[in-house]
Structures are given as structure tokens and as C-alpha cells.
Structure 1
Amino acid sequence: MTAAEGTKENPWKLKTPPQTSEYDMYKDEKDGREILVCTVGKTVLHYDYRCLADLHAMLKQHGDWMELGSADEQKPAKEGTVEAWGRAADNPNGGWYGLKKGFRGRFGMYIPPLMEALGLAEVEHNPRNNRMRAL
């Protein structure tokens, strides 16, 4: 990762934890809020940028591996997973870090690889049931 990466002109090039799909992500601003823009094929998702620091702090406090548990917004998230935390009313954001209604899920799929690329976390790359932990 270089300092020049993470912009609209030069997004981070990432792969999902199982390494099966590629996607781009960059930092932007919308309505005065810093956001992450995640482009997967033709689908564009937005996440609150503060999720990176908040998730890192939670993982540090957790102190061990945590299952990712990625799920679409319309499906329930498995308890005790990164996905469940990313939508929980008691997280520092007070709910969803995903910002686009209908596309707020998949937090556990797209945020962990960015955290790994930024040197904030270690992420497993198995076909299923991957986990992450803070560095």
C-alpha cells in the first residue's frame, strides 16, 4: 500500500477474504462525512470511514480471532461476528456502518481486507468461515 492509494483516481485493489473476487475501495466525502466507497463489479457500497478505527479498537479489546460472518443486509448476521458488530446498536456508530439502504451489509466481507492491507489486522483466506484479529 502506498500513500497515493485510496483515492478515487487510485483506489485500493482488494480481494475478498476467500480470494475469489476483486473489488476497489477508496476514501471520499459525502454530505460532510468521510466514507469508504466500495465498488464490486457494478455495485457500489458506502461505509462510514470511522469503521476502520472503531473495528480495530473493538478487535484489540476482543484480543482474539473473530469470525467475519458476512451477510447481505436483508439476512440476519450470525451472533459474535464482525458482521453482527458492524450493524449492532451498541457499536460506537450506534448501528449500521453501511450507509446505502439496501446495500448496508457485507461489512464482514469488504472491510477486513482493507484493514489487512493497511496493516491493522490479520485476515484468514480460507474458502469459508474466515476470521480476523487486530495487529
Structure 2
Amino acid sequence: MAAEGTKENPWKLKTPPLTSDYEMYKDVKDGKEVIMCIVGKTTLIYDLKCLTDLQAMLKAHGDWMELGSADEQKPAKEGTVEAWGRSENNPNGGWYGLKKGLRGRFGMYIPPLMEKLGLAEVTHDARGNKMRAT
């Protein structure tokens, strides 16, 4: 069987409230390692280094952090994973989402992958989910 996390064998994930299914896999786009996120017929793209950067930030934070998922066009709640994922103060200097118009939802789709990879714990409530580094 092919390694998990490839286009042929993507990670099968659920959003933090466990209400929607989606898939992710590693790829290379424009010479950059990325995570392709397939939600229905929509494809979002995130910089692969977000996984190690987010885990390091969560370890430094030392406690649970609210996810605060929001679309790119909407402001992210301060102090959330979503706000960090688009902040000029993160190691990336801004958005980890790479597809203009679809750069948001970092706090919705990246945490379950980190949980699957053993990099973080994520709560699975109907709303207000949080994560912390493992």
C-alpha cells in the first residue's frame, strides 16, 4: 500500500466538529512543498512548513488555543490559530494559505492533520474547538 499523505493515498480527515470530511496530501507546487486540501470540489493549498511552525508556536504557547477558523475575506479573532496563520508575526511573515481568495480556514483544516500526525491534540465540540501541541 502506498504511503499515506500522497495524491494516490491522501489523509482522510474530518473537520474539528466532526461534521465534514475532506482529504489532504503533500505535493510540490511552483517548487514549494505544499499541502493540498480537497474539500468537495474546492482545493485549498497550504505551505507545508506550517505544520512545524504551528507546533513550535503551540509548544511556546503552552496551553490550549482556540482555532477560530474564518474565510480569507473575514477577520480572524485575535489570539486564535487562524489569526496566527495569517499574521505578519508568524515565521512565514503572513498567510500559510497559498491560493488567493482561499487562504483562510487554516484553523479548520490544518489542526486535524496535525492531530493525525501526532503533532497536536484537538477538541471535537460542536463549536469553539481548541488545540495544543503534543
**TM-score, length-normalised on structure 1?**
0.98
Partner of 1:80: 79
Say if 2:70 is the partner of 1:71.
yes
Determine helix, strand or coil for the equivalent of 2:56: helix
Unpaired runs of at least 5, structure 1: none
Query: Does 2:37 correspond to 1:38?
Result: yes
Alignment partners' CA distance in 2, 1:132 and 1:51 = 15
Please list every run of 5 or more consecutive structure 2 residues that lacks an aligned counterpart in the other structure.
none
Give the % identical residues. Answer: 79
**Cα 1:3/1:114, change in 2 over 3 Å:** farther
Partner of 1:120: 119
What CA distance in whole angstroms lies between the structure 1 residues aligned with 2:4 and 2:125? Answer: 26
**Structure 2 counterpart SS, 1:44:** strand
Aligned to 1:109: 108
Measured after TM superposition, the shift of residue 3 of structure 1 is 7.7
Matches of 1:53 and 1:38, distance apart in 2: 17
2: CA distance, partners of 1:48 / 1:120: 16
- Which residue number in structure 2 is paired with residue 25 of structure 1? 24
RMSD (Å), alpha carbons? 1.0
Q: 1:44 to 1:121 in 2, by over 3 A?
A: same
- One-letter code of the match for 2:50? C
- What's the TM-score, normalizing by structure 2? 0.99
Question: What corresponds to 2:4 in structure 1?
Answer: 5
Q: How many pairs were matched up? A: 134
